[in-house]
């Protein structure tokens, strides 16, 4: 294969919405702290210990279409990184299935499975720990393309130059080690590493959270440039609504392992339906709201070991009523393309807009 990368522009690029890149169907992920031998005996004898199970992700459905940028937002510990890792194929789901271009990932074997893994790449949060400190940049970026036959040993230097330039790195830095770079440059190395295997889909897990604000903007612009050039699809995970607003076509809000709201970006910022989304938006610092006191979401995020009954958000929700404590609300469509998980939408005099 030649060193030039020319990903064929997707036929459906002009008409997003018809071509599903990835489909997450009823996916859950549990992390269990199993009891060891001594623990089992103690539990038999009546000690108050039991297996602790965290529902990091709880029956999530999510569809990402080709060419789309989906923002995934939530507080720390809400399961957004776990969901991202499952989508990227690093972590197997406990339940449910993930369809890659219409085919169940767990059913893929051999070449097909490898291709599916390679086409979904991940950009990590910590630019230092995501690069192997004992490898040179050339090896970090070049190892996988060489191994998978995307380039030859003879063509590697030219291939590397191209990948590095595309990520905004000087190709003469090839023989350096990660510790010799700044945070922004390291993140560019991570991006170059992911792009070197010619993916179609990138999962960015808090990819700019560890960077300075000025560097954040550079990296975000790089993501947008790459999206145009390579027709990439993104799942952009962030706790920063400002970043997500700037980047995404669609926003998905998660709270304690569940999706609570899902809508096009403008809709979320103009007409947020779920009380959690509303309180998140109220906490975003804005220049025009300089003198306003920020409305912080009350209370702490509850422990996922022992989540609240009914709607997970009810202990912190200003509008909570009896039904919220008992019944888990369903994710219902409140407007075309806008889904929300809130009982308030069922109230007759409400009109889908809680006050």
Partner 1 sequence: MSATTAGSTAPAKAPKVETPLRRFILDFAESKLALGALIVFLAIVLVAVFAPWIAPQNPYDLAQLDIMDGRLEPGSVSDGTGMTYWLGTDDQGRDMLSGIMYGLRISLVVGAGSAIVAAFVGASLGMLAAYAGGRTDTVIMRLVDLQLSFPTILSALMILAFLGKGIMNVVIALIVVEWAYYARTVRGTALVERRREYIEAAQCLALPTRRIIFRHLLPNCMPPLIVVATIQIARAIALEATLSFLGLGVPITEPSLGLLIANGYEYMLSGKYWISFYPGIALLITIVSINLVGDHLRDVLNPRLKK
Q: Which positions touch partner 1 (CB under 8 A)?
A: 85, 88-90, 114, 117-118, 120-122, 124-126, 129-135, 143-144, 147-148, 157-158, 161, 165-166, 168, 170-172, 174-177, 180, 190, 193-194, 197
Taking the complex as a whole, the smallest distance from the CB of residue 246 to partner 1 amounts, in Å, to 24
Q: Which is nearer to partner 1, 79 or 89 (by Cβ)? A: 89
Q: Is the sign of the CA dihedral 161, 165, 167, 170 positive or negative?
A: positive
Distance of closest approach, residue 43 Cβ to partner 1, in angstroms:
18
Q: Is 177 or 269 the residue whose CB approaches partner 1 more closely?
A: 177
Minimum CB separation of residue 117 from partner 1 in Å reads: 4
To the nearest 10 degrees (0 to 180), the angle between helices 183-195 and 137-147 is 10
Q: Counting every residue, how long is the chain?
A: 355
Pick 187 or 267: Cβ nearer partner 1:
187
- Is 294 within 8 Å of 282 (Cβ atoms)? yes
Question: Minimum CB separation from partner 1 for residue 348, in Å?
Answer: 49
* Integer Cα distance of 212 and 193 in angstroms: 21
Q: Phi first, then psi: give them for residue 203, nearest 5 degrees.
A: -105, 115
Burial class (CB in 10 A: 0-12, 13-18, 19+), 154: exposed
Query: Of the candidates 192, 173, 183, which has an alpha carbon nearest to the alpha carbon of residue 213?
Result: 183
CB of residue 275 to partner 1, shortest distance in Å: 34
CB of 165 to partner 1, least distance (A): 6
Cα separation, 113 vs 81, whole angstroms: 22
In the bound state with partner 1, the residue whose beta carbon lies nearer, of 55 and 193, is: 193
How many angstroms separate the CA atoms of 299 and 179, rounded?
40
201-205 β-sheet, strand order: 120-123, 201-205, 233-238, 69-73, 250-255, 258-264, 338-340, 332-335
Q: State the burial class of residue 177 (Cβ atoms within 10 Å of its Cβ: 0-12, 13-18, 19+).
A: middle
CA distance 67 to 16: 7
What is the closest distance, in whole angstroms, from the C-beta atom of residue 250 to partner 1 in the complex? 24
Cβ 164 to partner 1, closest distance in Å?
Answer: 10
């Amino acid at each position: 294969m030649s060193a030039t990368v020319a990903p064929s522009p997707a036929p459906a690029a002009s008409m997003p919405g018809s071509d599903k890149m990835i489909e997450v169907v009823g996916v859950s992920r549990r992390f269990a702290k199993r009891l060891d031998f001594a623990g089992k005996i103690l539990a038999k004898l009546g000690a108050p210990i039991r297996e602790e199970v965290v529902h990091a992700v709880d029956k999530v459905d999510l569809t990402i279409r080709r060419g789309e940028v989906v923002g995934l937002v939530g507080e720390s510990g809400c399961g957004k990184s776990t969901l991202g890792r499952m989508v990227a194929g690093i972590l197997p789901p406990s339940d449910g299935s993930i369809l890659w271009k219409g085919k169940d990932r767990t059913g893929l074997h051999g070449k097909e499975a490898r291709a599916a893994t390679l086409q979904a790449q991940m950009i990590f949060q910590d630019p230092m720990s995501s690069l192997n400190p004992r490898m040179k940049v050339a090896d970090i970026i070049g190892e996988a393309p060489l191994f998978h036959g995307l380039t030859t040993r003879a063509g590697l230097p030219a291939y590397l130059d191209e990948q590095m330039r595309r990520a905004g790195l000087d190709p003469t830095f090839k023989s350096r080690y990660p510790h010799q770079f700044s945070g922004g440059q390291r993140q560019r190395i991570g991006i170059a590493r992911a792009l070197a295997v010619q993916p179609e889909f990138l999962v960015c897990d808090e990819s700019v959270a560890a960077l300075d604000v000025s560097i954040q903007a550079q990296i975000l612009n790089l993501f947008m440039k790459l999206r145009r050039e390579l027709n990439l699809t993104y799942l952009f995970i962030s706790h920063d609504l400002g970043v997500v607003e700037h980047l995404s076509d669609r926003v998905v809000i998660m709270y304690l392992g569940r999706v609570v709201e899902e809508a096009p970006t403008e809709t979320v910022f103009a007409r947020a339906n779920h009380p959690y989304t509303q309180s998140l938006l109220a906490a975003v610092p804005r220049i025009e709201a300089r003198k306003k006191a920020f409305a912080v979401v009350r209370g702490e995020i509850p422990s996922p070991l022992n989540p609240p009954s009914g709607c997970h958000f009810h202990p912190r929700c200003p509008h909570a009523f009896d039904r919220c404590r008992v019944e888990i609300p369903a994710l219902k469509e409140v407007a075309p393309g806008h889904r929300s998980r809130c009982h308030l939408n069922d109230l007759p005099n409400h009109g889908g807009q809680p006050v």
